[in-house]
Structure 1
Amino acid sequence: MNAAAFTQQIKAMSDRLSHLYQRINTSASQPSILLSSTLPELGIAFERLQRAAELLYQQNQQLVLANQTVQNERQRYQELLEFIPNACLLTDIDGRIQEANRMAVKLLNLQQPLLIGRSLIDFVTHETRQQFQTDLQQLQQRPWKQEWQVRLLPKQGVAFDVSVLVEVNRQEANQPLTLRWLLRHQSHNLVTTDKQPDSYINLSYPLQHYHKGETIPLNPQTIWQVCSGLVKLTTFSDRGQKVLVGLAGTSAPFGASLTALPLYEAIALSDTQLWSIPVSEYVSSVELRQRLLPQISQRLRQTELLLAVHGQARVLDRLNSLLQVLKREIGHPVRDGTRLSVRLTHEDLAIATCTTRVTITQLLKQLQQQKKLRIDSQHHLILKA
């Protein structure tokens, strides 16, 4: 019994009682007859009221229990959402954020109350926003999960690439469609894992920011360590030609004090954050040297791979070898191969293979025709398996 039906019963009983009272008042000469007929009716009315009250109480208890069950399920859902180690979002079909876990708050660098109601499009960089909006509009016609590569710019932060898994959540009829998002930060992992050790996160060293294409100054008294981003390290041959000697990604150290080359240049290949570590602390701190040693060793192994690339006689062989090194160092698996997480120009590839930009352009076209690679909408290379 619902509240409306119960109310109707109460009104009907109230009307009946009013009618009985009127009969009593107009028939005072026959009180015993009226009482004998009225009292049973009052008893029946009371029993009906009592039964209705019991039914209403039972329904109320069921509603309380159902509400508690919903709250428990909601709590379990929230705990599961927070347990996921990647950024998770729930948005409407236009990308407006409805729910976000802690990792999403951290990734987008905005507190949850301020995040709810914001459009995810606001966090996409301007150069990739149009493609993102196009993909978003086409989602309703694509019932399967979609995997995208997107470049995000968090609030008061540095732009970075993320791998996005998105799916349309088709609810019951007449319910608005929603989107489920899983965002994974594509750190340029040239060392071990994407996650920085706590010992690095809590370092008190100054954090410097450099934009893509900026030259990073090399001070003999400073060791740089990459917090995020990617840095190209080059030297110059006797003929003045640039030679690639390293790619410094997350946690990788570099600096004038870590090379014997007289000419050494560091250029940010993407928006980059660097820790500035004084050489004097590196020399005096055994713990710091132990922390940096694995990364320095990794840099040496990477340099050996690049030397092997330079040792190839044919330019095509050098390019293929370089692409395999890049696949290992900055590659991230996608549906149809491995995507290089940093956009490399033809000039970058020409420097790394000791050839000209025109030659690289011709060779890349050749590899595309052979279906060995393709270039996505953001101009990133995708190497086929």
Structure 2
Amino acid sequence: MNVDTFAQQLKTMQWRLDELYQDAQATVQVKPDLLPLAFKELGIVSEELEVAVEELQQQNAALANARQVIETERQRYQELFQFAPNGYLVTDESGTIQEANHAAAKLLNVSQRFLVGKPLLVFVAEAERQSFHTQLLQLRTSEQVKEWEISLCPRDGKPFRASLTGTIISDWTGKADGLRLCIRDISSAGRELCLYNPADLELEIERNDSDPYEVCPKHVYLKGEMISLKPQTIWVVSRGIVKLSTISETGEEVLVGLAGPSMPFGSNLTTLKTYQATALSEVELACFSLTDIATYPSLAQKVLPQINQRLRQTEALLAISGQRHVKDRLHNLLLLLKKEIGQPVEQGTRLSVRFTHQDLASACSTTRVTITRMLGKLQAQGKIILDSQNHIILKEQDI
């Protein structure tokens, strides 16, 4: 009910109450104190209602002011959305476009109003549509920001390579309500991450007998961040651990490798359609182009042996996933992690990265519940312990 209407009705009721009170005083003879007492109590209620109306009016005014402030902020953010230099889309969970800014419309070569209601899938290169669908499926079940590359085909335009960064939108109850996607054209940015002159780099290496990884400028990613994978470039880890993974047809993440110090990774080192790199800790990375590696022997001598090490690690992970029993898979995975990222400590060997039970379950092709139960048994047997930061410590005896 409108507050003003409610206040007017209350005044009318109070006026009528006064009339009834006057009539009762004039006509009622039996128990003369009964009706005046009742009307007195009603009068008290009426006064309390008047106070409530005043409070409601004050709250109504405050809400009106708050609404104006919110509307001003909404308009401001709408303008920021519309005129952002990158393309931005808001879609439902299936990828159907609900909002698009000017940059997105320009990239896809379609008017903004005609983009609304169209599935983004129609602009994805046909060969990559299954991969795109898989990425959306994983994005809907993850709380993390996801970034991947894909080929987009604008209407009546030339296809281009795009970097998509996506995150889920939740309503006030926390339920997934849609997706927010950022589109960047990276078709001509193959060398944008290599912030150095390759000839100067080679000269510096030869003059000072320097490690190429140490001379090259570093890029820092924080724990949990997705690392951008550019075509024709290779990342080399200077510090930290990077998780390399792919996405199954069911949208589950599958571990395919761990890149530690001096180890290379990049989209050109895999044939997987879906390939992503995530920082498991704060990492420092050096970036080299494939042309640089082919041109300068000192770079090739450092990178190629590490690629071989990555291949051996991948073979070990494949062998683990092929074992019949989950117990054996977990046993051998922990031994591999001990070898790859183990640090000697007083109690045994500490894994330098904290893995979630879901991470271990994905690597072992099983469920998180199963891994939780098996790790609990290993702890009860004293074969593993957890430190104060929940890092696994493997005892010296075989697990």
TM interval, short-chain normalised = 0.3 to 0.5
Q: Which has the larger radius of gyration?
A: 1
The normalised TM-score by structure 1 is 0.47
The normalised TM-score by structure 2 is 0.46
